[in-house]
Amino acid sequence: MRISNRRLLLCCATLMAGNGLAATSAKAQTASSKSVHAQGKGHAAAAPLRRRHNGNESGVLGPAGPQTEEIAVSGSARHADGVTNTTPGGGLMPRQTAPRSQSGVTRDWIAKQTPSGNISSMIANLPGVVYANQSPLGTAGDTLTMRGMNESQIGYLFEGAPLADPINYEPYTSMLVDTENLGSVTVSQGSPDLDAPLFNAVGGQISATEMNPSHQYGGYLSLLGGTHSANKEFLRLDTGDIGNTGIRGFASFSHLSNNNWRGPGGAERYHIDSKFVKEWGEDNSITAIFGYNRQEQTTWREPTAAQWKQYGTGFNYSPTYYPGNSTYYKLNFGNLNSLDVIAPMHFTLAHNLTLNVTPYYVHQNGPSVGGENIPASGGYYGTMQYGDLNQPNSYVGANGQRMLTTAGVDPWNQKTGAINASLNWTLGSNTLSFGYWYSYTTHEELSTFAVVDPSGKAANAYGRYGITVPGTGGALLSGYNLNFVQQVNALYLADTLKLLDDKLTLSAGFRAAMVARQGTNDVPGADPYKVVGNYFEPLPQFSASYQITPRDQIYLNGTTSFRAPESVEAYSQIFDPNSAHAVEQPGSLKPEYSIGEEIGYRHTGKLINFQISAFNMNLTNHQVTSSAYIPNTNMLISEPINIGGETSRGIQGELGLKPWHHFSPYVSAQYLHATLDNNVPVSAKNAAGASVIDYLPTAGKTMVAAPHWTASVGLSYDDNKHFFGNFDLRYVGSQWSTFMNDQRIPYYVVSDISLGYRFPHVPHLKGPKIQLNLINIGNNLYRSSPGSFSATAQGRRGIYGNAISAGSPVYLTGGNFAALVSLSTGF
């Protein structure tokens, strides 16, 4: 194994810190960034502080310090929705102390956003974050980048557990939690925590937590309505403290539906959240978190540049059906179903010894559905040609062949069971932490086809029976029949030392991550039938921070991380009845590896919070994730493209004021210079017309989906009595969609406004309010992000003179104007 000088230096720093210093004082356990999570009750009486551990806060488990520790202040919430109006920037800039670039949002911001949003939409204003929505309501899509890394390269944690798809890495944040229950979100733009149960977070980490249950019996009710026929009903019931058991909890239910803002169709979602906490003794706790989601969303068509120019927002699925119309909207939708169980536990074994254990279970399943026309006879099952399928409702296609209009159904089914544990030992000014993470995932994905009748209805729309292929003994017609197993083992050792009266903190850690994957494809002709991938990566981290004054801190860090190849499609061929050969081949199975450095300064003042940081990151085997349609279908799949190395450098900063005459302004910005390090290999044709591999001169070109400039401005007003409001504006610079930098989307600006009024005392209600959210107030119609990438948008010659064809990237379309009114109250 070849080791770079930078990795060697990180390893040496780790060993020096581990040998010379072994761990942290009790003070170090509270040196992490802290956030106040309100209880959702409007009680004015003071109450004692209750520390709730996140299951991994003690010791140096982050890049250079403890992980986030939450402090729940029972009864401290000023308002029933959890707003305290104490966070600078209107909730966009809570205090941070971690020795890395880190930002966050609290209830002061979350409670004033549209209740239909999700975790990703809540952090759109933070430095370096580019959130590209497709729905103005925030109900669909998690297209997000940080420092040019997309959501599949960012680790998502919910209550300390990774609830994103562990193979495709899609976070599906709209499934995780209702925003009425969301307590806070913390964003680490450059590096993950050392003990985080992640192996894809080369681009940073996003951690979200639910609000803690109230100590008093009651509840919360919210009703929403607005444009696009949007409506949401939410109800939460709090048990309060149950006798003297030390147990309290809540359970909530919500229903949300809306019409698509462009094209026919819409979304409907049913969701359940539950959280119970048991506390006893000296800082012992067990938390039980449960989530259930059932959601169906009609998808949007993604236009190319030419289609956007010709049709604009009119490029949509068809509202009516006729034989052969595979773009009929009822044949193109996705289901997102999930069940999540998390049980963070914290035990104080001795005054200087703690144990954190977080077992979790995640079950996610589809289906995803896309319309497709397939041959009624003479098509292909894998590489095997089939005879007459003996199906009704065929029609004669343009080439005279009998065809069937079908719904291509992908009922993926995935289950994960895992446990993450750490032991933290404090001795003097040192804390030594040791941890282990184990995860086991199974994934099944059998694509099938359901024939469409003359009315446009698909028989067995969820593919329970499918189409039987004659002469196969009852096999179902399929393009891929995937069975995938993944096991993850990770060990980590971390050490922190505090010196100079706790002003200087030195931290080092080492993590060894092992990922074993095995996938098979049971479709005839699949070659290879079975693919195995095994990955072992050493991941050292080091950081140092110095508290110049109680309000001023400087820090630096060096981190490493890796990402195993994304998606099951990277391990398997994809077939289609319209082709005698595979339409997609396995992708690169090399893991992506990153080495990054940061240096930063932050000031936490009585009025102003400010932080700025400079960063550098180098990646090898950088895999750009491109969404591509299976040829001749409306079915999107993830398509990883290995483009070699990438270098990303830049500077980011943010500034927020605490409430001053009821106003709290906020500003954030980032400059990013991300470039490709290598020439990208592409398929080409030589002079004889044969397929060959050539290279495009892409070294030094700007990275795709990596805008040079991003910025946001916000202004919050809250008189702490009746009136409140927010204004925010986001600027996103132009983004390339081709590696040759010959096609891009222009910069865009969007802005939102929220206005609200809290009613005076109403009998039997606590803090009733009415809130108006105006989204994209300028009704800016724009392309928000590339949905796929191409090597070049123009036909050209490669470095060796071979002909390279032009590609046509597709784009996501940002949501238009929406107005939403919500009524809510505690009780």
Helix (H), strand (E) at residue 374: strand 368-375
Q: Are 600 and 613 in contact (CB under 8 A)?
A: yes
- Kindly report the CATH class assigned to 5-298+332-367+411-446+479-826: mainly beta
Which residue stretches of the chain have pLDDT < 70? Answer: 1-77, 141, 460-465, 625-640
What pLDDT does 587 receive?
75
For the whole model, what pTM was predicted? 0.89
- H/E element, 6: helix 5-20
The mean predicted confidence, pLDDT, of the chain is 88
User: Is the Cβ–Cβ distance between 559 and 190 less than 8 Å?
Assistant: yes
What whole-number distance in Å separates Cα of residue 150 and Cα of residue 135? 18
β-strands 69-73, 34-37: how paired? parallel
Nearest to 79 by CA among 664, 714, 757: 757
pLDDT 10s digits, 51-70: 333 333 333 344 433 333 33
The pLDDT tens digits for 124-158 are 999 999 999 899 998 876 789 999 899 999 999 99
CA max distance for the chain: 85
Asked whether 102 and 188 are in contact (CB, 8 A), the reply is: yes
Query: Is the Cα torsion angle 151, 35, 714, 727 positive or negative in sign?
Result: positive
Distance CA(105)–CA(97), nearest Å, equals 15
> Is there a contact between 122 and 142 (Cβ–Cβ < 8 Å)?
no
| Residue-wise DSSP of 714-765 | EEEEE-SSSEEEEEEEEEE--EE-BTTS--EEPPEEEEEEEEEEE-S--TT-
Residue 413's nearest CA partner among 366, 452, 371 is 366
Supply the DSSP string of 76-143, one letter for each residue. Answer: --SSTTS--S-SGGGTT-----SSS-EEEE-HHHHTTS-TT--HHHHTTTSTTEEE--SSTTS-S---
Interatomic CA distance for residues 711 and 821, integer angstroms: 28
Q: Is the dihedral of CA 791, 797, 799, 804 positive or negative?
A: positive
Cα–Cα dist 598/559, whole Å: 9
Q: Specify the length of the chain in residues.
A: 827
Domain ranges (residues) in the chain: 5-298+332-367+411-446+479-826
The owner of tokens 């004669």 is 396
List Cβ neighbours of 514 (8 Å cut-off, separation of 6 or more): 488, 489, 490, 534, 535, 536
- Distance between CA 245 and CA 279 in Å, rounded? 8
User: Under the phi-then-psi rule, with left for phi > 0, alpha for psi from -120 to 50, and beta for the rest, what region is 326?
Assistant: alpha
pLDDT of 662 reads 95
Q: Which amino acid is at 622?
A: H
Decide: helix, strand or coil at residue 558.
strand
- Residue 638 β-bridge partners: 627
